[in-house]
Homo-oligomer: A and B are copies of this chain.
Amino acid sequence: MAREIPTAFAIGEALRIAMETDPDVILMGEDVAGGGTRPDGTDEAGGILGTTRGLVKQFPDRVLDTPISEMALLGSAVGAAVTGLRPVVELMFMDFIGVCLDPLLNQAAKFRYMFGGKARVPLTVRTVTGAGMQAAAQHSQSLYWITTGIPGLKTVIASNAGDAKGLLLAAIRCDDPVVVCEPKSILFLSSEVPEGDYEVPIGKAKLVREGGDVSLVGMGGTVNTALQAAMQLEQDGVHADVLDLRSLQPLDEEAILTTLGKTGRLVVIDEATPRCSVASDVAALCVDKGFDLLNAPVKRVTAPFCPVPFSRVLEEAYIPSPQRVIEAVRELL
């Protein structure tokens, strides 16, 4: 019967498979080893959330703890990627992109184009996103809209353990720089994860629920929010399609327009703040190429336009809830 493991384990499994199948794959980051190979025989931490635990013992020379120097971490990873390695960088929390955006924005994303197609940048950046652990304003942001908006980068985000494994394997083997977001809300949830080596193609969304009355489009943790909303809506006889974007750039426009074509009504749920968001892109797609399919406004259920508050009550109110999705759907019917 199907094997269910937490997303964090599935990610570790993907990393091990990638390293076993390609000697050029290395891991770099703060405390990705965190002990383990030390003379004093201490046990390793395997990253702040333990995701990489066990890897340094198996690949002592290819799991590299770095100083707290993200600019050098990202920048040297880009340099390593264009010269023959296939680095997988752990940027502990995506909030830290503020100290190391340039290597992504102006280097990794642009080399291939600026150099007339002569460069390959097989770089993967894994990074934890999202709220829900009362980690407050600087450790809880969903900043994937920034990397999504940069031409030359690809950005993916899984909603379950199985996709997290397959997307990460695809990202590592992709010759373009890929940012792989790991939402806090799914890291410790268990779900079915196939054994062995497989890839989930980058750029393909997945219809995870068949309805027909309304389309709920989610990404990462908000796919579960959408599914919960869909189940409650079902009880009132509203049948919802739920589309898991999985890839934020490239965006699977065809899949979005297909479900919109079925339902004529769409709500997009995004844990990020609303301005310049993936949610806005989905809505803009609907009112452009999907205009003739629309029977109602396109609603965006996102975080409010404010920093992530510490207080438990406020953080709960901050994160998009099934209730808010249901209310949005009600406005469309």
Looking at A21-29, A33-41, A102-110, A124-132, the stretch in contact with chain B turns out to be A102-110
Best-surrounded residue of A71, A98, A276 (most CB of chain B within 10 A): A276
Q: Are A136 and B148 in contact, with the CB atoms below 8 A?
A: no
Whole-angstrom distance between the Cβ of A41 and the nearest chain B Cβ: 37
Copies in the complex: 2
Instruction: Out of B113, B114, B283, name the residue touching A283 (CB < 8 Å).
Output: B283
**Chain A 281-322 near chain B by CB (<8 Å), digits 1 or 0:** 101101111010010111110000111010000000000000
Number of contacting residues on A, CB 8 A? 54
Cα separation A141 to B146 with both chains bound (whole Å): 14
Instruction: Out of B273, B280, B296, B305, name the residue touching A284 (CB < 8 Å).
Output: B280
Would you call A46 an interface residue if the criterion is a C-beta within 8 Å of the partner chain's C-beta atoms? no
Q: Are A276 and B145 in contact, with the CB atoms below 8 A?
A: yes
Q: Are B288 and A297 in contact, with the CB atoms below 8 A?
A: yes
Q: Are B283 and A276 in contact, with the CB atoms below 8 A?
A: no
Instruction: Name which residue of chain B comes closest to A289, CB basis.
Output: B297
| Residues on B with beta carbons closer than 8 Å to the beta carbon of A138 | 106, 110
Whole-angstrom distance between the Cβ of A79 and the nearest chain B Cβ: 16
Instruction: Out of B71, B137, B276, name the residue touching A276 (CB < 8 Å).
Output: B276
Would you call A17 an interface residue if the criterion is a C-beta within 8 Å of the partner chain's C-beta atoms? no
Would you call A97 an interface residue if the criterion is a C-beta within 8 Å of the partner chain's C-beta atoms? yes
| Residues on B with beta carbons closer than 8 Å to the beta carbon of A113 | 137, 306-307, 309
